[in-house]
Structure 1
Amino acid sequence: MDKVLAKPPSECCFRPGSQQVGMSRGTIRQIGGVDTYISTPDPSGTANGKVLLYFPDAFGLYKNACLMMDQFAAAGYLVLGVDYFNGDGVAKHTTTPLSDPTFDFEAWTQKHLHSSEVIAEIWVKSVVEEFAGEGVRFGCVGYCWGARFVCHQLSTHGICKVGVIAHPSFLKETHVEGVQAPLYIVAPADDELFPHEQRSRAQEILMQSGKEFSVQVYSGVGHGFAVSFVFPFTKAVS
C-alpha cells in the first residue's frame, strides 16, 4: 500500500495571508496549449542559463506567485509557471475560502486532482521542445499542491536536476522513493498536513536510498507560510 506522507489540502492551506506589494513584470503565453507565466532574467546581468519550473499551490498563478517568480528571475533564472488549473485556481473563486459559503473546496479538488497531472505532463514535454538545448539545465520548485510534481520531475521520468518543495500536500511514499536528484524540503515545525512523523519518514526514505537532500524546518509558522506574506510568516519567507 502506498502510504501517505502529506495529506490532501485542507482549511489550513487557506489561513488568511496578504498580497505582496508590487507589480508583476512577467508575461503569460501558452506553452503546449497551457497558459504559462514567464519571468525572464536580465540577459546583460544575472542570467545564468538555467530554467526554473514553478508548480503553484491551489491558488494558481495569482499575484503572490507571480511576484515570487519575478524574484527567482532576478536571481538569474528563466522562470516558467504552469497554470495546470486552466484559469480555475482557487484565487479565481474567492480570496477568503475559509469563510466563503459559495466555495466548495472538496469539489474543486476532485475536479483538478487528476487533470492537473495530465496538463503538467503535456506542458513539461512542450517546455523541453522549446527550451532544451546545449548547456540548459532545469530545476523546479513546488508549493503544497505542486510538491508531487517536483518529485516526479526529479525521478527518471523527469527533466530536472534539482528541486525544492515547500509544505507539501498529496505526497505519498512512492513520490519520494522515485526521487533521483537533489531535493530540498521546506516545512513548518507544526504542519497539519505534513507532521513530524511523516516528515521523518520522508527523510528516512531518502537516506536509505542514498539520495542527496536537505530539510529546513521553521518554527512559529504554519502550512502555506512560504506563499503567505503575513506576520509572523514574513521573516521565514524572507
Structure 2
Amino acid sequence: MADPNIATKAPESDVQEELTPQTSPSPVAGEHCVTDRPLPSGRAATGEIIDINGVKVYISKPSDYPHAPARLLLLLTGGTGLKSVNNQIQADKYASEGFLVAMPDLFDGDAAPNASILEEEDTGSSLLDMVRMRAVEATKSFMIDMWMARHTEEKILPILHKVVDGCKEKFADAVQHGDGIYAVGYCIGGRYILLLGSETPAPTGPVDEEAGAVRRAPLIKVGALAHAASVNPDDFKNLKVPVSLVCVENDPLFPDDVRTLGEDAMASANLEHEVKVYPGVPHGFAVVGQYDDEGIKEAQETAYDQMLRWVKEH
C-alpha cells in the first residue's frame, strides 16, 4: 500500500516548503483524533448516557445482563468524545462480547473542535491557493492546540477517578466478576490507559492527603490501546498491568522512538505486553468508521480483534 504521505503530496508542495520556513514540533493530537469517519450503514448506538459521580458516562450492557454476569470495561475515547456515535458503537461492540462498558466524558462536555468544519475545496495550485491552504492548516492546528491546553492530565485524571470510584459502587457485581476493571483506549484516551495502569510513586516530601498526593495502586487490571496520542516515555515508567498496543507505522502522534523506549521499559520491567505495528493505515483507523480502502477496513477489524482478545484473556 502506498505511503499516504507520499500518495497525497502534491507536486507544488516542494515550492510551498520553500516559501515557508519549516519546523518539526512533536504533535500531541491531530485531525484524526478529533474527526469521526462516516458511520457504517445501518448502525446505531444502543446504550444510554447516565450520571456517575457528576460525570456523564455512556453505558452499554450485554443483552443478557444482569441475568448473566459481565466484566466491567472502561472505554476511553479520542477527542470526538462521549456523544460521538462512532465511539458509542465501539462501546456497543465490546458489550456484545460480554463486557459492561462505561465510556466517560473525558472532556466535561467540551469535545474537540471538528477539523472538518475548516475543510476547503482544492481550487487550484496557484500561489494564492497555497497560501490559503496553509492558513487553513494553521487554523486547524491552533484550534486543536487550544483545545488540548484546556484538557490536561490534571483535568482528566480526576474525572477518571470519579468514574472508577462510582463504577466500583454502581457496578460492583461486574467489577467483582472480573476481579478488577478492564480498559481500552483510543487516540488521546490511549495515553490514559497507561496512566491508569501505573503505580503512582509515594511523594518525597510531606504528604497532602486532601490533595491526593498519596501512593496510588493501578486502577485497572489490564489495558489495550490503539494509536495513542500525547504519549511520552515517562508514561511507561511505573506501568504495572499487562498492555496491548495497536500502533500505526510512522505515526507522528506516537513516534517510533517513543514507542521503542516504551517497549524497552516494559521489557526491562518484565511486564507482559504485546505491540503490533500496522502499516499503511492512518492514525485513528481502529475507531468504528467507514474507509474505502480494503486494507484499512481489514486492519480495523484486526485491531479490534487484537484488543478484544487481550482483555478477554486477562
Q: Give me the TM-score of the superposition, normalised by structure 1.
A: 0.87
Residues 48, 215 of structure 1: alpha-carbon distance in 2 compared, 3 angstrom cutoff:
farther
Residues 52-94 of structure 1: CA distance to partner in whole angstroms, max 9, x if unpaired? 001100110201100011010001000000001122212xx53
SS across alignment from 2:93: helix
What is the aligned partner in structure 1 of residue 210 from structure 2?
none
Tell me, yes or no, if structure 1 residue 29 matches structure 2 residue 50.
Answer: yes
CA positional deviation for 1:44: 6.6
CA positional deviation for 1:110: 1.0
Residues 83, 208 of structure 1: alpha-carbon distance in 2 compared, 3 angstrom cutoff:
same
Gaps of 5+ in 2: 1-25, 121-135, 200-216, 302-314
CA positional deviation for 1:49: 2.3
Report percent identity of matched pairs: 29
Max Rg structure: 2
Q: Hey, what's the Cα distance between the residues in 1 that align with 2:72 and 2:186?
A: 17
Alpha carbon RMSD of aligned pairs, Å?
2.4
SS across alignment from 2:57: strand
What is the aligned partner in structure 1 of residue 91 from structure 2?
69
Residues 118, 7 of structure 1: alpha-carbon distance in 2 compared, 3 angstrom cutoff:
farther
Tell me, yes or no, if structure 1 residue 115 matches structure 2 residue 155.
Answer: yes
Q: Specify which of 146, 157, 174 is matched with residue 189 of structure 2.
A: 146
Is the CA contact (8 Å cut-off) linking 2:33 and 2:80 kept in structure 1? Answer: no
Residues 225, 208 of structure 1: alpha-carbon distance in 2 compared, 3 angstrom cutoff:
same
Q: Specify which of 260, 263, 281 is matched with residue 221 of structure 1.
A: 281
Q: Hey, what's the Cα distance between the residues in 2 that align with 1:158 and 1:95?
A: 34
Residues 211, 124 of structure 1: alpha-carbon distance in 2 compared, 3 angstrom cutoff:
same
Moved more, 210-219 or 105-114: 105-114
Moved more, 219-228 or 129-138: 129-138
Tell me, yes or no, if structure 1 residue 10 matches structure 2 residue 30.
Answer: yes
SS across alignment from 2:177: coil
Q: Hey, what's the Cα distance between the residues in 2 that align with 1:226 and 1:81?
A: 16
Give the letter for the 1:108 counterpart.
W
What is the aligned partner in structure 2 of residue 131 from structure 1?
171
Residues 97, 207 of structure 1: alpha-carbon distance in 2 compared, 3 angstrom cutoff:
farther
SS across alignment from 1:96: helix
What is the aligned partner in structure 2 of residue 3 from structure 1?
none
Gaps of 5+ in 1: 1-5
Is the CA contact (8 Å cut-off) linking 1:7 and 1:171 kept in structure 2? Answer: no
Deviant stretches of 4+, over 4 Å: 44-48, 100-103
Q: Give me the TM-score of the superposition, normalised by structure 2.
A: 0.67
